[in-house]
Amino acid sequence: MKVLVCIKRVPDTGGGFKLTSDNMRVDTTNVGFAISPHEECAVEEAIRIIEKHGGSSTVLTLGPQAAQEQLREAIAKGITSAILLEAEDYEFWDPAATAHAIAETVKPLGFDILLFGNESADTCNYQVGLRVAHLLDLPCVTGIKALEIQDGKALAKRETKDGWEVYEVALPAVFTVKEGINTPRHPSLRGIMSAKKVPIEQKKVTKPAPQLVRKALKKPQEGRHLEILGQGVDAVPKIIEKLREVGAI
Amino acid sequence: MILAILEPAKGALTEASWETLTAARDLAHKSNDSVTALMIGKGVNALAPTVKGIHTVLVAEDPRLDSYVPEAFAKIVSEVITQRSPKIALAPGTETGNDLMARVAARLNLGLATNCVEFSVEGGSLKRVTRSNWGGSLLEELEILSSPILLTLAPHAIAAQSADGTTPTVETFSVSVSEKDFRVRIKELIPTQKKGISLTDAKVVIGGGRGMGSAEAFKMLEELASLLHNAAVGATRVATNNNWRPHSDQIGQTGVQIAPDLYIACGISGAIQHMVGCKNSKKILAINKDPEAPIFQRADYGVIGDLHQIVPALIAELKKLKGA
């Protein structure tokens, strides 16, 4: 079994955003980076598939040199090898451009299972996985929260308001994963040490003519005004008052 | 022409479909254009008369399409776009709508702006859209260079409005899907048994974050919920990643989006990832021992102190009230 997992390096925003002075990017001065949450689960799923069925797993990202940090994190957890499609301007690639670069790279590599996150944490475009699937003419199920592989087929479960939709597709196939499919492991110290030495395959990619062009980022209006109800247990009567106001008591 | 792609479910159009129709009519009004609505699936013929105030309803009725068949639906939408050349094609930004339109965009090699919240029409044509980034905690203004313009509308971004007047012409769109278009299909539906009050239905939600410290500590939130009408317990990503609670309890960008009358956030710092999931709460009450926690900038009521003392005191007081 050969499994590919595609990830995105995103700022670890914590409690708030600052925008750059031109309003085109999130200001990442003094901000850490992480693998986008759904993709963190896609990495875990790739590792579990290989642990169960044997084979090898590859992690891929389109991003800056600094994204080696996220690729090595995935390797430290148990992914076999890594590919960096190097583009320092990756934040301004639209989904079609990203999908074309990924599809071109992975087409000759013959993966059985290609995993993506359902949507990235930052741009939330919901489409890179589906576009790659189309370019490779592979079936794709999006937003899955369970995956079972058996006899060249996959059963993928999608959660809806009323229950589960179970899809059956033949491999090779593409899946976009949602958080909740598993609980990602932490890398071991040994994993972290040995991941430092794994060579990362690198290829420079150039942004093609875009379909979508960002003009600006802005913060939405927030209309709340804080009223301090009190300190410690002295605030309990006020909390009860607020519970009464909404008819909870 | 502006094409609105609607979602039938259980014999009716979804709320997101009515929002999409409203947005399409508004776009048509501003650009002096007409709206055609497209409905795909088994039984959509019967739904066509429920739509008013637009030019045409296209129905693609087929008994094989009794649930969402991704590639077959995408093929039909792509054919409609190719044959009817709309200026804009708009669908609901639901899980299904985003899946469908991404497939259509890939087939036609067009750009797609998902989860739009605002449209800027100048001189009779759509120049820019504003779409949701980071689950809605940032907005992105975007120019779309490819044509026709493909969009999905973020749910609840605009309120659905009913329209009277014109009864649209109903046209049949003949479906030409083959076996290959069914390679991705639902094999089975497993309904889940509803137990208790769900996070999305509860009037009061009590959320626990890093400050809870353990799975054990969530028991007091459960007890608090049991003393209130229509209350449920949720958690942050930190709590679910630590296995203190199941992922289904997670409130946030990668979990559930809630909109209760009151959200009580216990030991939650207020990470963007979490706040996206609770920002539609009517009121937010935060209990946190750190007065500098970002959640206090996004809450209506603040209690500064240790939740491990405050919650038990609150429970004791509520029990006293019940006993009285």
Cβ-nearest to A96 among B103, B111, B310: B111
> Whose structure tokens read 């996206």?
B276
Segments of chain A with pLDDT less than 70:
none
User: Tell me, what's the pLDDT at A168?
Assistant: 96
How far apart are the C-alpha atoms of A171 and A151, rounded to whole Å?
9
Q: Where in chain B is the domain with CATH 3.40.50.620?
A: 2-182
Position B162 scores a pLDDT of 84
SS3 B106: helix
pLDDT tens for each residue of chain B, 324 residues long: 999 999 998 889 999 999 999 999 999 999 999 999 999 999 999 999 999 999 999 999 999 999 999 999 999 999 999 999 999 999 999 999 999 999 999 999 999 999 999 999 999 999 899 999 999 889 999 999 999 999 999 998 999 998 877 899 999 999 899 999 999 999 999 998 777 899 999 999 999 999 999 999 999 999 999 999 999 999 999 999 999 999 999 999 999 999 999 999 999 999 999 999 999 999 999 999 999 999 999 999 999 999 999 999 999 999 999 886
Domain(s) labelled CATH 3.40.50.1220 in chain B stretch across 204-323
Please say whether the structural domain B2-182 has been given the CATH code 3.40.190.10.
Answer: no
pLDDT, one tens digit per residue, over A112-142 is 999 999 999 999 999 999 999 999 999 999 9
Distance from CA of B280 to the nearest CA of A (A): 11
CB contact under 8 A, B114 and A126: yes
Q: Indicate yes or no: CB of B285 within 8 angstroms of CB of A94.
A: no
| pLDDT tens digits, one per residue of A20-29 | 999 999 999 9
Nearest CA among B293, B180, B294, B277 for reference residue B235: B277
What pLDDT, on a 0 to 100 scale, did the predictor assign at position A95? 98
Chain A residues 59-98 within an 8 A CB cutoff of chain B: 94-96
Domain ranges, ordered by start, for chain A: 2-245
| Spatial separation of the C-alpha atoms in residues A22 and B6, rounded to whole Å | 38
Domain A2-245: top CATH class: alpha beta
pLDDT at B5: 98
Q: How far is A63 from chain B (nearest CA, A)?
A: 18
CA distances from B19 to A221, B39, B43, B44 (A): 22, 15, 21, 18
Are B102 and A17 a contacting pair at CB < 8 A? no
Q: How many CB pairs under 8 A join A and B?
A: 265
pLDDT tens-place string over residues A10-52: 999 887 889 999 999 999 998 999 999 999 999 999 999 999 9
- The pair of structure tokens assigned to B173 is 């769109």
Q: What is the DSSP letter of B168?
A: P
Q: Is any Cβ of chain B less than 8 angstroms from the Cβ of A126?
A: yes
CATH architecture of B204-323: 3-Layer(aba) Sandwich (3.40)
Partner residue facing A232 (CB), from B135, B295, B305: B305
Contacts with A77 from chain B: Cβ below 8 Å: none
Contact between B134 and A236 using a beta-carbon 8 Å cutoff: no
**Nearest-by-CA chain B residue for A155:** B187
Is the distance from CB of A199 to CB of B275 less than 8 angstroms? no
Facing residue for B303 by CB, picked from A13, A126, A230: A230
Shortest alpha-carbon distance between residue A197 and chain B (Å): 29
Position A126 scores a pLDDT of 97
Shortest CA distance from A219: residue in chain B: B138
> Which strands sit side by side in the sheet containing B204-208, from one edge to the other?
A227-231, B301-304, B283-288, B262-266, B204-208, B231-235
Peptide bond into B155 cis (omega under 30): no
Selecting from B186, B302, B313 the residue whose C-beta is nearest the C-beta of A226 gives B302
Q: Please name the member of B67, B99, B309 whose beta carbon is closest to the beta carbon of A142.
A: B99
Residues whose CB is less than 8 angstroms from the CB of residue B253 and which lie 6 or more positions away in sequence, other chains included: A37, A121, B134, B135, B272, B273, B274, B276, B277
- Interchain pair A220, B142: CB under 8 A: no
Residue of chain B whose alpha carbon sits nearest to that of A121: B134
**A199/chain B closest Cα distance in angstroms:** 30
Beta-ladder partners of A227: B301
Q: Which residues contact B231 (CB under 8 A, 6 or more apart)?
A: A248, B197, B202, B203, B204, B205, B206, B224, B225
B145 and A168 within 8 Å at the Cβ level: the answer is no
Cβ <8 Å between A243 and B183: no
- Minimal C-alpha gap between B166 and chain A (Å): 34
| Residue among A131, A211, A213, A228 with most chain B CBs within 10 A, to mutate | A211
ipTM score assigned to the predicted complex: 0.95
